[in-house]
Chains A and B, each alone.
Chain A
Amino acid sequence: MNFFEHQDKARKQSTRLLFLFLLAVSAVVFFTAIVITGTLTYFQTQGFLSNASSHMGYWTALLHNPILLWSLLGTLIFIVLGSTFKALQLGGNGIQVALAMNGKHVHPDTHNPDHQKLLNIITEMALASGNPVPKVFVMPGAAINAFAAGFNRHQTVVAVTEGALTQLNRDELQGVIAHEFSHINFGDVKINMRIVALLHGILLIGIIGRYIAWGSYGNYSYRSNSRRSGKQAGLGFALMAIGFTGTFFGNLIKAAVSRQREYLADAAAVQFTRNPDGIANALKKIAQGPSSTLESSHAEEFSHFYFSSLRLTGVQNFFSGLFATHPEIDKRIERLGHTLTFNTHNSPHGSTRANSQAMGLTGAIEITPASTGDIIDQNTPNQPPPAQYSTLKASNIINSIGNPTHSNLAAAQAHLASLPAILIDACSNPFSARALVYGLLIEATNKNYHSAQLDHLNINTHPETFRTLHQLQPAIKQLSPQNFHPLLLLAEPALQDQSTQQAAVFQHCAKALIQTDNQLSLLEWAIYRLAVAPLKTPKNKSNKSLKDCQSALNVLFYYTLSLTEPAQRAPLLTQAEKHLRLKITKPQKVSLNALDSAMNSITQLKPLSKPALIKALIACIIGDGKVTEEETTLLRMVALILDCPIPERFGF
């Protein structure tokens, strides 16, 4: 299974998940409404039961009661409001999750050596997989754990516990982070965010039930109407029970989805680091440690985000296997080709696994050990060694998307080491990161306009920014355009730390720099869309086919062809059309502005249509035997905007 199939599966899983949740919600709504109606009618007409002499009569009367409809509607609205609340609270980015877990933001300027090590590992991995560097958080606590969260690649968060930093060595930590990156790459983090929001709605019923039940006890002492309080308590407990049932099924679904993805992430992590020992040893340390519980009241809510399950030790019974958000740790270690040397729990894994399959929840997402093995064994030899560009094949690039390997990691490390230290340091905080982006924009423009651009900055920015720019410029002048991309990926987290006002000024200045020469170059567009105003991946459904995007594709391919020699264009277009299985016609306008708006519609392509597009694009680019820097910039940008980051390969 390649990246696109995983993404497609993830998308289908989201739909399936939604359906299962809807089932759970309908059940909860129905039973809640029945309980509320039952209680209310009992209050209103004490003789209600006596009127309805038989059981059947009671139920018919209940079902025909208008209060039932109202409670149905009311409960439904409640659950929807609860989910909306959570979705809004998470606000589409992982920062809120990290903060809810008491996480503390680690800035790249940190002096703590442990934090610096963590940042280095994450930076390397982000570059290697072609992702913008995520924001990093450290959570308090001695336990070893980690998670990744976020809705899109530009706003992802990776959080690690203090315990993981102090107890794991670099290899082990790298394994853990690689595992989290595979969750980012395969889009699991998006599903996870949705699960939290959906579960919250159901959870609310139980919470309200608890309040009502508690309230009734509080009133008990000073209210003479103890009978009424008794009913109130009854209603409260009934709601609690329903809430728990809802949560029960919700957790079951959450666990089933989450568990399978953990094996996949482990396998991908091994492929990424080519070091099964790292992640296996990390898991062993977790198994030997006291527990991986996190000190936060929200820990349970986000349990499916973590590297290892929250409750590690404890009673191993029928349910604990079913509810586990993660596979059992010795199973995970086993699949990595290791064994847990000590033997503390001999729980019947087989039976719990069989049970979860019998529930019919895991069928579609089951990944057998054989198939995880495939990911490791088959893909790795497929990767071209970093130096051989002549053998650059579309299929290799397609396979590498979302599946970074050890060679990508090595390439990223080499690339980072080759970048001037002063520029890497500039990426560490918003103040100098801005100056860096200004510098890159100036460098991307024709020399004749440089003085005009500098004049503009001199007037519109703070003198200190201008001074910093001056210090960076000599290093920037030495850069080749292929180094722009990694620097911008590095600068992303710092640029996000700007306040809204600062970001507005930044955007204004960047636009002014771009417009000085009255023309938009590809490099300028790439800088703008990467660092200044990233195109957001759509939150709504991405289900467009290639045909639906016909006009956007026309613009994209005619623009791509404009980067090659006119004589070569016709055969390249034929090749692209073969991959796309579409006729590309000449659009009215071929310009970067047209391309920019075309990208908006292309982001909504469904995952399985993306490989054809990327293959066609690659065919256009490498078909003439020459790959220019402009072409690779375009390919990288299109891939990133399509949410399929191409892993780093030195020189590509």
Chain B
Amino acid sequence: MGSSGLTTLAILVAFALYCIYIFNNLVKLKNQFENGFSQIEVQLKRRYDLIPNLVETAKAYLKHESETLEAVVKARNAAATELSAASQNPGDSGQIQALAGAEGILGQAMGRFNMVMEAHPELKANTTMMQLTEELSSTENRVSFARQAFNDAVMSYNIFRESFPANIFAGLFGHNKKAALLEFEDSAQIAQAPKVSF
């Protein structure tokens, strides 16, 4: 065996090891953001479970505001559908955006609901209502924290996927799509929602 042959072999092995590293890192980063989405999913589900109770409690006080309540329920149902679709494939940017859109509409509906509630002090003072809004607000916090973790993980994945030389292999290894960040259009309004309870 000549030394040049050995050198070539060593280079080939190093190259193979590098490819292995890139492949595994792509898989690992993808797993990380998919796992990150499952965290959001749990919290959003919790939120979607709380909203019907909230509406049920409010119904007795808001006889003339049934439109607002219906809008909340409708937006909640739409968002829940989008969530289960997105959870099937958190890497798909279309589905992530659809979820963000549905969440935006739900956020607006909740904003209107909160405004209505402000106008009804007796509803605001209801114990069940207070408990529910408190729980909802702590869920909001958990959602935004989980969303931040998800977006961080998506960023790491996208950055690695597009960096040289991983970008040469990414397509080859089946990572040919950029993952989408989950940005809620109306983040400001959502952030407002929990504060109403104080």
A: residues with CB less than 8 A from B are 66, 69-70, 73-74, 77, 81, 84-85, 88-89, 91, 95-96, 99, 104-105, 107, 109-111, 429-432, 464-465, 468, 497-502
Contact = CB atoms under 8 A, between A and B. Distances in A.
Contacts of A107: 38-39, 42
Contacts of B42: 107, 109-110, 429
B149 to A, nearest CB: 4
B16 to A, nearest CB: 5
Contacts, number: 88
21 contacts: A66-B1, A84-B17, A85-B23, A85-B24, A88-B24, A91-B24, A96-B28, A99-B31, A99-B35, A107-B42, A109-B43, A109-B142, A111-B45, A430-B39, A431-B145, A468-B138, A468-B141, A497-B35, A497-B36, A497-B146, A499-B150
B44 to A, nearest CB: 11
Nearest to B150: A499
Interface string B1-40: 1000100010001001100110110011001000110110
B38 A499 contact: no
In this complex, the member of A70, A105, A431, A500 whose beta carbon has the largest number of chain B beta carbons within 10 angstroms is A431
Counting from the closest, the 5 A-B pairs by CB-CB distance are A499-B152, A431-B145, A499-B149, A107-B42, A464-B141
B148 interface: yes
Contact of A77 (B13, B27, B38, B156): B13
B131 to A, nearest CB: 13
B24 A104 contact: no
Instruction: Please classify how large the interface on chain B is, using the bins under 10, 10 to 19, 20 to 34, 35 or more.
Output: 20 to 34
A85 B42 CA distance: 33
Interface string B40-84: 001101100100000000000000000000000000000000000
Interface of B: 1, 5, 9, 13, 16-17, 20-21, 23-24, 27-28, 31, 35-36, 38-39, 42-43, 45-46, 49, 138, 141-142, 144-146, 148-150, 152-153, 156
Contacts of A465: 141
A436 B71 CA distance: 37
Contact of A429 (B20, B36, B146): B146
B132 to A, nearest CB: 15
A134 to B, nearest CB: 15
Contacts of B150: 499
Contacts of A499: 36, 148-150, 152-153, 156
A548 to B, nearest CB: 32
Nearest to A135: B35
Contact of B20 (A66, A73, A84, A105): A84
A77 B149 CA distance: 39
A500 B152 contact: yes
A96 B31 contact: yes
Contacts of A66: 1
Given A91-B24, A109-B42, A501 B152 contact: yes
Nearest to A69: B1
Nearest to B194: A464
Contacts of B13: 77, 81
Contacts of A85: 20, 23-24
A431 B21 contact: no
B35 A81 contact: no
Nearest to B31: A99
Most A C-beta atoms less than 10 A away, residue of B5, B43, B144, B148: B148
A30 B42 CA distance: 53
Contacts of B20: 81, 84-85, 88
Given A69-B1, A497-B39, 13 more contacts: A73-B1, A81-B17, A84-B17, A88-B20, A89-B27, A95-B31, A99-B35, A109-B46, A109-B142, A432-B141, A464-B144, A497-B36, A502-B152
A115 to B, nearest CB: 10
Given A105-B35, A499-B149, A429 B45 contact: no
A91 B28 CA distance: 8
Contacts of B146: 429-431, 497
A99 to B, nearest CB: 6
Contacts of B36: 497, 499
| Interface-central residue, B35, B49, B150, by most chain A CB under 10 Å | B35
Contact of A497 (B5, B9, B149): B149
Contacts of A95: 31, 35
A105 B34 CA distance: 10
Nearest to B43: A109
A105 B37 CA distance: 10
A113 B167 CA distance: 44
Contacts of A89: 24, 27
A70 B38 contact: no
